[in-house]
Structure 1
Amino acid sequence: MGDLQVIGGIKKLNNQNYNTWSTCMMSYMQGQDLWKVVNGSEITQPEAEDVNGILQKWKIKTGKVMFALKTTIEEDVLEHIRDAKTPYEAWNTFTKLFSKKNDTRLQLLESKLLSVAQRDLTIAQYFHKVKTLCREISELDLEALIGETRMKRIIIHGLRPEFRGFVAAV
């Protein structure tokens, strides 16, 4: 039952959170010794049962992974892996679906970044928002890496007016 509580803490995969979801799921599966059946040395089903019960163990591991995958994704995303036979196949489906460069999404993120402002956010929330946008842009387009200096300029530009004096002093 403890395993389900950990999975329940992972926000379900949707069209906007693949990178966060995949990082959390990869860590979860590595911690449960399940990653090998997703993207490691045990991605194909053993030919036959042996004295160590290797086929049965593989089926149990793949069942756990498929359950974890299917219960941590939104219903509309489930349609993409409903017929997947192995965790490897399901994981690769997600990778292909969500990792491709999406020009429309990239333009939307760059627009958000250019217009980001602190408004009613705390400093920590505002910094997190800017860093997240920069990271997402960099993940979509490796050639559009946003350096630390540019990120600082963006942060300073969007601060509330009461912080301008502090920025000038620094």
Structure 2
Amino acid sequence: MTNLHDVGGMRKLNNDNYNTWSTCMMSYMQGQDLWEIFNGSEKEQPEVEYANGMLRKWKIKAGKAMYALKTAVEEDMLEHIRDVKTPNEAWETFTKLFSKKNDTKLQLLESELLSMKEGNMTIKQYFHKVKLLCREFSELDPIAPIGDTRMKRIIIHGLKP
């Protein structure tokens, strides 16, 4: 198996990079033929050993998936999935942990967005940062997402004169 952290320079999961991390992990798992064990037809352990070794194959695949997942998270994140039994359970744990609406996080994101300035960033870096913050805000609060018009106003407001 390829060293996971060499794949696209992916950083380990921490409190600040879930959206980027999950997108990269999903692609990595698909490329390693492990995604089905996280979120597809193979996410449940077969109940009985079939003649063709289905249970054994599932356990090997699940072991590879769990190893890849556990080595792709910071130590403090590992505590959340230390005792889970299946890769799907681990994935769902992170999804719930980072996708729930958190009013404090929303307030911090909104404050960061409204105080966002181009500063020393290039235009491209600045646009990317604003779009990333808007997307994160919208994922945390799908009822009140930041629309294109508001995003454009935020971008224009933070540009250098």
TM-score of the superposition, structure 2-length normalised?
0.92
- Return the alpha-carbon distance in structure 2 between the equivalents of residues 74 and 5 of structure 1: 12
Tell me by how many angstroms 1:69 deviates.
Answer: 0.7
Q: Distance in 2 between matches of 1:20 and 1:53?
A: 36
Deviation >4 Å, runs of 4+: 5-8
Q: Which AA in structure 2 matches 1:33?
A: D
Answer yes or no: is the 8 Å Cα contact 1:106–1:140 preserved in 2: yes
Instruction: Name the count of aligned residue pairs.
Output: 161
Number of the residue aligned with 2:51: 51
* TM-score using structure 1 length: 0.88
RMSD: 1.6
Which residue does the alignment assign to 2:135? 135
State the 1:146 CA deviation.
1.5
In our comparison, the structure showing a higher alpha carbon Rg is: 1
Indicate the percent of aligned positions where both proteins have the same amino acid.
Answer: 73
Distance 2:145 2:45 in 1: 40
Structure 1 segments unaligned to the other structure (5+ residues): 162-170
Match of 2:144 in 1: 144
Q: What letter is aligned with 1:67?
A: Y
Structure 2: segments with no counterpart, 5+ residues: none
Greater helix percent: which structure? Answer: 1
What is the correspondence of 1:1-170 to structure 2 with a 5 Å cutoff?
Answer: 1-2=1-2, 4=4, 6-7=6-7, 9-161=9-161
Aligned-residue offset at 1:153: 1.5
Distance 1:63 1:53 in 2: 15
Residue in 2 that maps onto 1:165? none
